[in-house]
Amino acid sequence: MDNRMTIAQLRLTSANAQLRKQAGTEQSGSSASFKDVLNRNVLKFSQHAELRMQQRGISFKPETIHEIVSAIDQAAAKGAKDSLVVYRDVAMIVNIPSRTVVTAMDGKSLHGNVFTQIDSAVIVN
């Protein structure tokens, strides 16, 4: 049985996991709103990225999303703005401040490409 998820399911799963994690680590007196926590911790996909992922048959397991979010956290900590995030045979251009995947490519589409307008790259194992 294939336990891969659609992008909508990934968003919900990722949001719920991150919110549970955040709730467990924040003090009860914190002023962070639900929307702030959600926007800070969720991986979003642009319409273009969703289309490319569907066309190229790219899907992720929930654990994979967690690893990608961790990579984005690392890039953000270094001050990155637009990063190339590579996970196995999938490359994604991610806008770090908005936590949005702008586009995604599979291994077949990677060959011969030049990535421009990025300031960092993160390789996820």
Choice among 21-25, 64-68, 76-80 with the minimum mean pLDDT: 21-25
| Domain assignments of the chain as residue spans, ordered by start | 7-124
- Tell me the pLDDT tens digit for each residue of 23-55: 454 444 445 565 555 555 689 999 999 999 999
Type of residue found at 50 = E
Does residue 6 have a pLDDT over 80?
Answer: no
Does residue 106 have a pLDDT over 80?
Answer: yes
Q: How confident is the model at residue 109 (pLDDT cuts 50, 70, 90)?
A: confident
d(CA 96, CA 82): 6
Q: How many CB atoms lie within 10 A of CB 74?
A: 16
Tokens standing for 34?
Answer: 């639900």
How much of the chain, in percent, has pLDDT values that exceed 90?
54
First to last CA, the chain: 24
